[in-house]
Amino acid sequence: MPRFRRPKGTRDLGPAAAARFEEIRETFVDMAWEMGYRLVDVPALESRDLFARSTGEDTEIVEKQMYGLVDGGGRELALRPEGTPGLVRAAIEEGWLGGHNGERLAYFGPMFRYERPQKGRYRQFTQLGVEFLGIPGPEADAEVIRLLVSLLGELEIPHTLKLNTLGSPAERAAYTETLRDWLAEREMDLDEADRHNIARNPLRVLDSKREATMAATARAPRLDETVGDESAARFARVRGLLEKAGVDHEVDSRLVRGLDYYGHTVFEAVGREAAQDAYGGGGRYDGLVTALGGPDTPAVGFAAGVDRLAADGTFDDPEPPLWLVPLGEAARGAAWPLAAGLWEEGVAVQVAWNETGLRKALGRADTAGVRWVLILGDEEAEAGEVTLRDMAGGTQGRLPADAAALVAAMEDAE
């Protein structure tokens, strides 16, 4: 048993998993960039109050899941449970707002939630996401949704996009009251664990995945049917734009998302299998920037779970670098300048410093999936040469121990 173990709910990513995360990051950053989104990076540590104000004091995330701490100076801080509040805080503080065509920001980084341990749920996990600040129209909603869906497409992840409207803040508030009354009359039919939300946050009851609650609320008043004409027309516009961009979607009147700041469009990309966790989701949050002390700025965004994407996406295994195998004391001396020359030429090469015999070295290179091996025995070292072996065909030949000559030889053989 190792002496130290990782904290419960965290993960160690080995080279293969870390390479997947990196591939997702690059794919996301490139795709976002093509639509005008620029990567920014803000602290994982923020004031606790920021999340109480934005995510919502009454939400499960802030109340039960947030990692709070008091630093040496007595400041109440928290490890961010989600990205949006910190990004909006930074946009206000750093003066990133106010561009005529809005601001498109993208992020990728660790989030922290004290979750009940379960499959696919971690206490430190990674999210990527975007925030599009400053554009009130449905085009902005369609844009961020299109980016999320294209990213899933690029990673070859089958999914369904669910969409709903929460209406304007006033409509949402009115609906919340109607729903609260409706639920209060049926309290006993709900799963016990959901009952406390009737008074506190009735929308969350609709979000419940507990069977009794789902059955009892199947006929609950529907948000998409109670919103006014203006909100309904806006929602229809978003749907029309998605259709024109080839983005398939379903309306799900139960989709509410738990955070306080959403209004109008909300969406979630879910797996095709029942009871699977979502890949990501988001929505419009027009009131948040002012709630955090910034200028009146409409906004929409999404966040997706990188741990989820990495578990289900299709990835290329990175090719291992070429091996340079020095066999003997003189060879080890000659290997270093040769490796340095190859690195300068941009050739990916790793030196197998521990090898002492050719047969075993080739066996290990083969297991590692290496295509090219440079063998450097003492005899070759003396002659200023090296043997280049093509593991694919098993052919080999002696060449000058010169980086440029070796690069040319490998290019000829490809």
Continuous segment of H or E residues that includes residue 301: strand 299-305
**Number of residue whose CB is nearest ligand AMP:** 305
Q: Which is nearer to ligand AMP, 175 or 279 (CB)?
A: 279
Distance CA 109, CA 123 (A): 13
Which of 303, 327, 362, 370 forms a contact with ligand AMP (CB under 6 A)? 303
- Per CB under 6 A, 307 contacts ligand AMP: yes
Residues 198-257 that bind ligand AMP (CB under 6 A): none
- Residue holding tokens 């806006």? 234
Give the x/- contact pattern for ligand AMP in 257-296, rule: CB under 6 A: --------------------xxxxx---------------
- Per CB under 6 A, 28 contacts ligand AMP: no
Find the helix packing angle between 15-34 and 138-154, rounded to 10°.
140
- Per CB under 6 A, 82 contacts ligand AMP: yes
Minimum distance of ligand AMP from residue 123's CB (angstroms): 7
Distance CA 295, CA 101 (A): 15
Distance CA 310, CA 285 (A): 28
- Per CB under 6 A, 54 contacts ligand AMP: no
- Per CB under 6 A, 134 contacts ligand AMP: no
Which of 22, 115, 252, 312 forms a contact with ligand AMP (CB under 6 A)? 115
Strands (E) in 180-242, as ranges, are none
Neighbours of 344 (CB within 10 A): 10
Distance CA 110, CA 124 (A): 6
Q: Are 51 and 151 in contact (CB under 8 A)?
A: no
- Per CB under 6 A, 380 contacts ligand AMP: no
- Contact range with ligand AMP by CB under 6 A, out of 26-34, 115-123, 203-211, 387-395: 115-123
Distance CA 60, CA 130 (A): 23
Look at residues 33, 17, 35, 271 and name the one whose alpha carbon lies nearest to residue 126. Answer: 17
- Contact range with ligand AMP by CB under 6 A, out of 15-23, 96-104, 117-125, 242-250: 117-125
The residues of the shown chain that bind ligand AMP, judged by CB under 6 A, are 82, 113, 115, 121-122, 125, 127, 277-281, 303-305, 307-308
